[in-house]
Amino acid sequence: MKFDYSYIVLFGRPVFEPMVILTNVIFFLFCLFFSRELKKVKHDYALHMSRFIIFMGISGLFGAIAHAVHFQLGDLFFKTIFFISNVLNLLAVYYCFRATYSYTHLTTQSYNINFVRFISMWIIALIGLAFVQNDFVIIKINAAMVLVYALVVHYQAYKRREEKGSAIVVTGISISFFSLIVHSLKISLHEWFNYKDIAHVIMIISLIVIYKGIALNLQTIEARKEDEEEEEEEQSEDLIGNNI
């Protein structure tokens, strides 16, 4: 079933898909809160994850605006807002990659700047393609690819170092794939709760779980850093003692 045109009337004006607007706004509020919390942590992993989350949230907010006034302002306005939303989603995809890559860098101690530049150019190319086609399929495919990359990296971290936070992130990412499936297959339950609403609810649940995992990972990173500093301090004291 496909229900795209449910609406309510506010002040004599139709507002289409009010549940889509509501779920988008709720998603944005969660993203805003989680992003602000992560920005408090001075670490690349936290910074990039914060940007990944906030760009997703702002994209959802633009989606809410587009749905709210599409009827009043017409297709040109809707397509413009839709393009901006796609650009924000692609930026979210980029920062999801950067966060995951920085997390890999914690243990491998290898950072390939050329690879990062290649991904940056790829995102720019996709933005150009989104301008020409203005198609959400591009976003879904690239989002799925980056999410798979993030899932694999965090799963490996869990298996190698038994990091509980990474296991939680893997769970959250796994949940997010259901939103892609629901949206792609347009699985709807009711006119007032269509595939877009269901996908947004799944994304909210996924976001909460991923944030919990990220927060736990950051605690682990800080604890590991403190242990390394203590070990270095002990080695320095031993070296001084031996010299005496």
pLDDT in tens, 127-136: 898 888 877 7
79 touches 42 (CB < 8 A): no
Between the CA of residue 152 and those of 72, 176, 192, 221, what are the distances in Å? 45, 14, 36, 19
What residues have CB less than 8 Å from 174, skipping those under 6 apart? 151
Cα(92)–Cα(9) distance, integer angstroms = 33
DSSP state of 7: E
Q: What pLDDT does residue 1 have?
A: 36
Q: What pLDDT does residue 161 have?
A: 84
Q: What pLDDT does residue 242 have?
A: 62
Report which residue type is found at 149: Y
Q: What pLDDT does residue 134 have?
A: 72
**Burial classification of residue 75, based on how many CB atoms lie within 10 Å of its CB (0-12 exposed, 13-18 middle, 19 or more buried):** exposed
Q: What pLDDT does residue 227 have?
A: 59
- CA nearest neighbour of 58 among 16, 96, 86, 98: 86
DSSP state of 115: H
Give the distance from CA 71 to its chain's centroid.
Answer: 29
Between the CA of residue 93 and those of 3, 150, 229, what are the distances in Å? 28, 11, 34
pLDDT in tens, 102-114: 988 775 556 788 8
Q: What pLDDT does residue 94 have?
A: 96
7 touches 15 (CB < 8 A): yes
Task: For the chain, list residues with pLDDT below 70.
Answer: 1-5, 71, 107-110, 226-244
Q: What pLDDT does residue 210 have?
A: 97
Domain boundaries, the chain: 7-233
Find residue 10's DSSP bridge partners.
Answer: 13
Q: Which two tokens stand for residue 39?
A: 């920005």
Q: Which two tokens stand for residue 93?
A: 């995809």
210 touches 173 (CB < 8 A): yes
Q: What pLDDT does residue 3 have?
A: 39
Q: What pLDDT does residue 74 have?
A: 76
Interhelix angle 136-161/113-133, rounded to 10 degrees, is: 150
